[in-house]
């Protein structure tokens, strides 16, 4: 073999060693080789490990090794995951199929030499598992759960009220956790006010909150620098700066109280994180999600609403406030306007106002909306 690409058989398969049971050893080498190939593409460790777990699940489901898999095995695996009490969503099925197809593509690539290894040692060769005829077709732009939506203004207020009531409830019961409950309320409000994702919010530091010379009325909280935005595959995190908008100016008081009064009581020392824990650590994305779930439950809101719905709400409400689509897109860090449009769920009232405005432009100011 002339070319030895990262993850090729000669680089990961032990030479001059004869195994009593070679199949597990070759499978382990294939897994390691695929991991190396993905590392060379600068994919994230979490992405690589989740892909490997999926391959292990397929192997356990079939009871066979990758060089024995057939399209029928892949189809049976997806059918199995679609059944039961918690069937996978369409978008999840697509992700699984694409991942398995990428793995099969790696095995079949002559630059890695696995076809020759499998043929020599087992008398079998890998084959494609998923193809256009047995995989989910991408026919629509958005395939997410339709139950995920933006919250209306009353729901946002109910969520905030529930989050604000929790510290008083904990204090009245004489339990610990008042400071963290105050923090959780501030986190939820800030995520809505800036439209950030849970991981982005977790990674924000105090120094990322800065003044905006064009909006001095917001003081030290005129902008939020997001340095760990969602990245594309193999690319570093995307950076963006989110501006505080006048309609969300209440967040200035929220952040000011948190930064100057509540956060110091947790004794964070020199820890840079904006959101810290009682043990002087950085608040995790999981903890942020749990804070939202608690507030949602206390507010009696729909259980299908999740933390990401606050981002949907931010985009929708900025649109209803009249901000241009490009501004909204830049605020949330989307590369394409079509992605931002998916998040919008403007109200009927907003659409009726647009309709009324359009009719007035066409028919004149004397047009009567009640006619």
Q: Which CATH number fits domain 153-307: 1.10.443.10, 3.90.180.10, 3.40.630.30, 1.20.810.10?
A: 1.10.443.10
Q: Which residues have CB under 8 Å from 351's CB, separation 6+?
A: none
The SS3 assignment for 334 reads coil
Contact 285, 293 (CB under 8 A): no
Give the ranges where the chain is alpha helix by DSSP (H): 9-12, 22-40, 45-62, 71-82, 90-108, 114-122, 153-172, 178-194, 198-202, 250-257, 285-299, 309-321, 325-332, 337-343, 348-363
Contact 259, 219 (CB under 8 A): no
Res 78: pLDDT: 94
Q: Which residues have CB under 8 Å from 349's CB, separation 6+?
A: none
Name the residue among 30, 43, 80 with its Cα closest to residue 232: 43
Per-residue pLDDT for the chain (371 aa), expressed as one digit of tens each? 445 788 888 888 866 666 668 899 999 999 999 999 999 988 989 999 999 999 999 999 999 999 999 999 999 999 999 988 889 888 889 899 999 999 999 999 999 999 999 999 999 999 999 988 888 765 444 445 666 789 999 999 999 999 999 999 998 888 889 999 999 999 999 999 999 999 999 999 999 999 999 999 999 999 999 999 887 766 788 999 999 999 999 999 999 999 999 999 999 999 999 999 999 999 999 999 999 999 999 999 999 999 999 999 999 999 999 899 899 999 999 887 777 776 777 666 767 776 666 666 666 665 555 55
pTM, rounded to two decimals: 0.71
Contact 275, 288 (CB under 8 A): yes
Q: Using alpha carbons only, what angle is made at residue 26 by residues 24 and 29, rounded to the nearest 5 degrees?
A: 110
Q: Which residues have CB under 8 Å from 54's CB, separation 6+?
A: 96, 99, 100
Give the residue range(s) of CATH 1.10.443.10 domains in the chain.
153-307
Name the residue among 351, 340, 149, 160 with its Cα closest to residue 248: 160
Q: Using alpha carbons only, what angle is made at residue 314 by residues 308 and 316, rounded to the nearest 5 degrees?
A: 105
Res 329: pLDDT: 93
Report in angstroms the alpha-carbon separations of 12 from 3, 27, 305.
Answer: 14, 11, 46
- Other Cβ atoms closer than 10 A to 194: 26
Query: What's the rounded Cα separation, in Å, for the pair 304 and 306?
Result: 6
- 226: enclosing H helix or E strand: strand 223-229
Name the residue among 121, 128, 130 with its Cα closest to residue 27: 121
Query: For the chain, first and last CA: distance in Å?
Result: 81
Backbone angles phi and psi of 205, in degrees to 5: -105, 165
Contact 332, 344 (CB under 8 A): no
The per-residue b/e assignment along 353-370, b for 16 or more CB within 10 angstroms, e otherwise, is eeeeeeeeeeeeeeeeee
Backbone angles phi and psi of 223, in degrees to 5: -145, 155
Res 1: pLDDT: 43
Res 355: pLDDT: 66
């Amino acid at each position: 073999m002339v070319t030895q690409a990262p993850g090729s058989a000669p680089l990961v398969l032990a030479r001059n060693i004869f195994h009593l049971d070679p199949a597990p050893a070759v499978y382990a080498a294939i897994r390691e080789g695929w991991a190396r190939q993905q590392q060379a593409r600068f994919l994230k460790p979490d992405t690589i490990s989740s892909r490997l777990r999926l391959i292990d699940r397929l192997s356990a489901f079939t009871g066979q090794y990758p060089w024995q898999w057939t399209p029928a095995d892949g189809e049976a695996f997806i059918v199995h995951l679609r059944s039961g009490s918690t069937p996978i969503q369409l978008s999840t099925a697509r992700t699984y199929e694409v991942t398995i197809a990428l793995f099969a593509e790696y095995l079949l690539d002559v630059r890695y030499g696995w076809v020759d290894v499998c043929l020599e040692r087992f008398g079998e060769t890998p084959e494609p598992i998923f193809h256009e005829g047995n995989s989910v077709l991408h026919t629509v732009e958005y395939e997410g759960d339709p139950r995920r939506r933006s919250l209306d203004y009353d729901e946002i207020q109910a969520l905030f009220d529930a989050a604000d009531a929790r510290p008083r409830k904990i204090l009245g019961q004489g339990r610990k956790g008042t400071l963290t409950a105050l923090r959780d309320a501030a986190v939820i409000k800030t995520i809505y006010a800036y439209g950030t994702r849970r991981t982005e919010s977790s990674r924000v530091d105090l120094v990322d909150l800065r003044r905006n010379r064009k909006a001095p009325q917001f003081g030290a909280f005129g902008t939020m620098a997001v340095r760990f935005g969602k990245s594309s595959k193999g690319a570093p995190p995307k950076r963006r700066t989110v501006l505080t908008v006048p309609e969300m100016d209440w967040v200035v008081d929220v952040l000011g109280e948190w930064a100057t009064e509540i956060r110091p009581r947790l004794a964070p020392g020199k820890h840079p994180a904006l959101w810290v824990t009682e043990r002087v650590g950085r608040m995790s994305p999981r903890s942020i999600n749990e804070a939202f779930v608690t507030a949602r439950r206390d507010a009696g809101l729909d259980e299908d609403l999740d933390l990401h719905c606050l981002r949907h709400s931010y985009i929708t409400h900025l649109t209803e406030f009249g901000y241009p689509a490009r501004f909204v897109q830049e605020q949330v860090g989307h590369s394409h306007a079509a992605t931002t449009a998916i998040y919008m769920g403007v109200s009927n009232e907003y659409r009726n106002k647009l309709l009324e405005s359009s009719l007035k432009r066409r028919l004149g100011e004397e047009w009567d909306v009640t006619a």
